[in-house]
Amino acid sequence: MFVPKYKLNNKILANLTAIAETKGFIDRAKILPQQEVRLRRQAVIRMTHHSTEIEGNQLNMAQVEALYAKKKIDAPDRDIYEVKNYLNALKYIAKVVAEHKPITEKVILKIHKLVTDKTLAPQFSGAYRPGPIYVVRRRLGMPQEILYTGPDAKQVPNLMADFVNWLKTSEQKEISPVLVAGIAHLEIAAIHPFNDGNGRTARALATLILYQRGYDFRRLFALEDYYNTKRRDYYQAINVGENYDKRRTDITSWLEYFVKGFRNEIDNVKDKILSLSAYAIDGKIKLQIYLTPDQLKIIDFLDQVGRISAKDVGDILSCPKRTAQLHLQKLKKIKMIKAAGKGKSTVYLAN
């Protein structure tokens, strides 16, 4: 049975309180949908860049942004696959949330399969490891040092089943989603259930938990940014024992780090929203405008390309031309977009 040991000390409680207060501000903030779409896209790009760079990926932010926009770049295949994979995993996470699916072992295995597609042998992608695993440190001219030994492979299925059961009970016990995300992140790293891709899976799973439990902050945050900016602190915080049994001691220090990092990232989001609110709204928006996921996809495309047609909408949403035109008319009616041209040559621009 998995029962994480930690203490809710003053540092953790103070940061959780501050996060809850900031959440209220971000949830109520009035910003233009175009701005929100842009911030959300930037968050996905930052998540992907930092989570893959932690593992040694060499692509820079601009290259990740190009891949997000489905542009070709000149880079090693493995680096490209890793970035595309993480983007696909984040899309899957959004789908899990939209369909109200519970987090199961199957969902976690799917996340792993997506993050390791074409970078790990097919029999190991989306499957628990069959043998031992070690986290090692390699230094030039020095013998490699074993930093961590994962639990025996035979234990992995039971450990993962126990962990998933705990996830269910954590919701019933109303444990803070931030703490649950931090514990999940650490436990996946501790079990190290896969041959490769454990870190990316752990970070993606933490994001899924936050999204699913109402702590998505309009999906404008990227915790990976905090980890990667101070990578040494991240490694020191997450390596809390040389083997799994030693990791099952008190994890308060890790949660202090995780909650502090989350507050730091959310404060950055708040600052961005404050600057945009002051700069762009100028009293024009009396109520926050809520768009459907499909409408947000249309605005996202328009923000990147500058114009959009009914054919573009049909391609983006995989819908008939008539449905695409209806989407555009609805956005035009609420003055999000304006038409340019006539007949078949009609395109739509940001209003």
Domain membership of residue 321 (yes or no) is yes
What three-state secondary structure class fits 103?
coil
pLDDT of residue 287: 42
262 and 115 in a common domain: yes
The C-alpha angle with vertex 36 and arms to 234 and 46, in degrees rounded to 5, equals 25
* Number of structural domains in the chain: 2
89 and 217 in a common domain: yes
299 and 270 in a common domain: no
pLDDT of residue 349: 87
**What pLDDT digit, counting tens, does each position of 210-235 carry?**
999 999 999 999 989 889 988 889 98
Domain membership of residue 285 (yes or no) is no
Which amino acid, one-letter code, is at 260?
A: K
78 and 21 in a common domain: yes
Q: Which domain holds residue 34?
A: 10-278
**DSSP sequence for 205-230:** HHHHHHHHTT--GGG---HHHHHHHT
161 and 238 in a common domain: yes
Domain membership of residue 304 (yes or no) is yes
**What pLDDT digit, counting tens, does each position of 195-204 carry?**
999 999 999 9
pLDDT of residue 279: 47
**What pLDDT digit, counting tens, does each position of 139-148 carry?**
666 677 788 8
What three-state secondary structure class fits 339?
strand
Domain membership of residue 314 (yes or no) is yes
Last residue of a domain, one of 278, 305, 338: 278
pLDDT of residue 75: 97
326 and 205 in a common domain: no
**DSSP sequence for 281-295:** ITT--SS-----HHH
| CATH number for the domain harbouring residue 40 | 1.10.3290.10
Please give the sequence-ordered ranges of beta strands (E in DSSP) within the chain, or none if there are none.
134-137, 145-149, 337-340, 347-350
What three-state secondary structure class fits 188?
helix
Quote the percentage of the chain above a pLDDT of 70.
95
Quote the percentage of the chain above a pLDDT of 90.
64
Measure Cα distances from 146 to 72, 138, 245 in Å. 38, 9, 16
Is the separation of the CB atoms in 244 and 152 below 8 Å?
Answer: no
328 and 269 in a common domain: no
What three-state secondary structure class fits 348?
strand
Domain membership of residue 69 (yes or no) is yes
Question: Dihedral (C-alpha) 10, 233, 23, 211: value to the nearest 10 degrees?
Answer: -120
Domain membership of residue 287 (yes or no) is no
Q: Which ranges of the chain have pLDDT less than 70?
A: 139-142, 240, 277-290
Is the separation of the CB atoms in 178 and 165 below 8 Å?
Answer: no
Q: What element of type H or E holds 231?
A: helix 231-238
